[in-house]
Chain A
Amino acid sequence: AQTVTQSQPEMSVQEAETVTLSCTYDTSESDYYLFWYKQPPSRQMILVIRQEAYKQQNATENRFSVNFQKAAKSFSLKISDSQLGDAAMYFCAYRIPYSGNTPLVFGKGTRLSVIA
């Protein structure tokens, strides 16, 4: 079974600094998709970034980027120039790209605090 592990229950970062959140996963599949979701205090789940396993290039969305290491099964999220609005729970998730819509497997999350 696929599992996703986030080893940092809590992290903090100074405003304008950079922080990296860790995620590892276990799978025997060669093709799959990885996601980072953000859950602010409103509890609305918001997609931050997505990575296809067959792509070697790391995904980037503005201040958010990933370091995808397929052999190590690692998928970390880097937040640059941290802002107060980045404070939230961050969840790493995995999905198998079978035909049909397969569900996501989530890690337990990392709570990020941003210090002014």
Chain B
Amino acid sequence: DGGITQSPKYLFRKEGQNVTLSCEQNLNHDAMYWYRQDPGQGLRLIYYSQIVNDFQKGDIAEGYSVSREKKESFPLTVTSAQKNPTAFYLCASSEGQSGTDTQYFGPGTRLTVL
């Protein structure tokens, strides 16, 4: 089955720790995205990547980092510089270069800071 997987489903972080959220897709999509969802805030863009080895900051990139070494994978690291990381994180991907391309989402990771 084709799709987007995110792991882990739940993640707990202690203060001062870096943690990495995994996102993998087997849809052969060029572009991948990370969004953060807080209650009452909708989804906000953290980072996105249109092609391997390239990525751009979104609206709330501070305290986060990403890499795109493989087409299938777009991991997100939440660093200790992110002051309020408790949130739900959603990864998405889309097919090609057309503006009509639909974004498909993974099941999400819930991150909680202890």
Interface, chain A (partner B; CB < 8 A): 9, 31-33, 35, 37, 42-47, 50, 52, 91, 95-104, 106-109
In the bound complex, CA of A91 to CA of B37 (Å): 12
Give the interface size bracket for B toward A: 20 to 34
Cβ-defined partner of B88 (8 Å) among A43, A52, A103: A43
Q: Assuming the A-B contacts A43-B108, A106-B42, A108-B40, are A50 and B102 also in contact, with contact meaning beta carbons closer than 8 angstroms in the complex?
A: yes
CB-defined contacts of B98 to chain A, threshold 8 Å: 97
Interface majority SS (helix, strand, loop, mixed), chain A: loop
A101 and B31 contacting across the interface, CB-CB below 8 Å: yes
B107 and A103 contacting across the interface, CB-CB below 8 Å: no
Instruction: Sample 8 A-B pairs with CB under 8 A, ordered by A number.
Output: A35-B102, A37-B105, A91-B42, A101-B97, A104-B33, A104-B45, A106-B44, A108-B40
B107 and A47 contacting across the interface, CB-CB below 8 Å: no
Quick one: closest A residue to B29, CB to CB?
A101
Least Cβ–Cβ distance between B26 and chain A, in angstroms: 17
Residue B18 interfacial (CB < 8 Å): no
